[in-house]
Structure 1
Amino acid sequence: MVTEPEVPLRADARRNRDQILVAAREIFAERGAEVPMEEIARRASVGVGTLYRRFVDRDALIRAVFRDTFQAVADETRAALTEERTAWAALTRIMRQSAWLHVSVQAKSPRVTAVVGSDEETSRVRDELLDMLDEVVHRAQEEGSLRRDVGVGDLATLFVSVVHQNQSVTRDSAGFVPGRVLGIMMDGLRAPAHDELPGRPLTRDDLEFGPPG
């Protein structure tokens, strides 16, 4: 697959691009990725022509939104590993980022799965993120703060499911539910474990990526 070349942008062009990505991420999270491009342009306060100059079609916009989202999460994950004094503190900080993946929960569709699953850059950043999650799992287990019977696949699954709770609660409670669910999850991840988990630790091989079928 041929990816769009990276061309340096003027300040105003960069600002327009960033506004479009923010608007698209919000709308994708709210209503999915098939929203008319005109609505995305309107929310971004740019003209439709400006939107198409930055992103030639809907697939290009979908790729850019997911690249941007995964890269932001990867950057923050790297910062957590570097800046936090303990692996448990790094893990807690990383898990709080799950709100960034709201777009991937709400916007999932055969089209999004195919576009994102075939994008080499998104796959590269996703693999980098999984490598860092794997590192924090091993660090936390070595320091004795994380139970031994979980793996990177468990964390990745929990990472997304924190936000997934918003789809089954009222608007009034949606703002604080992810924090409560995360708190319960982190208590369950703490060592020592009180009960043995069924099955085995999930690995990255248990995660399903790419286009359907």
Structure 2
Amino acid sequence: MNSNDKETNQIHLSVPSARKDANQNVTRIMAAAKSVFKEKGAEAKVEEIAAKAEIGVGTVYRRFINKERLIWAVGMDVIKEIREKQLLDVNLPVPADQKICLILEEFLLLHRKYGKLHEMLLQLSEETEFGEEIKQTLTDVIQVAIKEGQEQGIFRKQDPVVLEAYILHLVNPKLISTLRYHIPVEEIPKTISKFVLKGLS
């Protein structure tokens, strides 16, 4: 997916409107959707989201064509939030291996804040191009941390693109979904970070 495609997807996740109240409704719908999806996951109904936002169901559908489009929009909003935190992490005055752990934890600890919404986003990542959107949130910050780690003598000297590909392979949604059935959810970030750092050293 090129940058133009990405911009197009983000712009058209909700139906554009020149009305100020329509844009306010989008904000209310998104906040309500995060709350309801967190509690009920895929079982959540648009009617419940509308009630939480204190607007009519028809208003939700005017802004978002269907439930799937709303889920994707919420997911993109979550990615934006992760991205902002990762940009802070990559600029911290700490060794590169710590930066890698922090960057991965921002991505992997979604379950703590978003509950069942995290499961929905993992499924969306496996079934649609949303997975590519997630990878894009990790790509450049990971490359920065890898290059810093090589300069610091922490990581092995190898093409940063190859090392980045290794990391992205380890944080793919299918692996995370599988680990959820075998180890406590709160241990997943630490487990994957250990695998990643071992492969980088």
**TM-score (norm. length: structure 1):** 0.60
Distance 1:68 1:26 in 2: 14
Structure 2 residue matching 1:106: 3-state secondary structure: helix
Q: For the residues of structure 2 that align with 1:7 and 1:137, how far apart are their CA atoms? A: 44
What is the DSSP-based 3-state SS (H/G/I as helix, E as strand, rest coil) of the residue aligned with 1:168?
A: coil
Gaps of at least 5 residues in structure 2 are: 112-117
Distance 1:72 1:155 in 2: 21
Provide Cα deviations, 1:12-33, integer angstroms capped at 9, x if missing partner.
63651332341365268x337x
1:12-67 Cα distance to aligned partner (Å, 9 max, x none)? 63651332341365268x337xx542244346565423422432333431331222
Amino acid at match of 1:41: A
Query: What is the CA-CA distance between 1:163 and the residue it aligns to?
Result: 4.0
Aligned mates of 2:95, 2:176 — CA distance in 1: 25
1:156 alignment partner, one of 159, 168, 191: 168
Partner of residue 83 from structure 1, selected from 88, 92, 107 = 92
Structure 1 residues 191, 107: CA separation in 2 closer, same or farther (over 3 Å shift)?
closer
Q: Percent of pairs identical after alignment?
A: 19
Separation of aligned partners in 1, 2:31 and 2:50: 9
Superimposed CA distance per residue, residues 96-145 of structure 1 (whole angstroms, 9 cap, x where no aligned partner): 121338343134565xx16x48xxxx85x853531222222222233233
Q: Determine whether 1:100 maps to 2:110.
A: yes
Match of 1:185? 192
Partner residue in 2 for 1:31: 42
CA contact (8 A) 2:105 2:189 kept: yes
Cα displacement (A) at 1:81 = 0.8
Matches within 5 A, 1:41-80: 41-42=50-51, 46-80=55-89
Q: Which residue of 1 aligns with 2:181?
A: 168
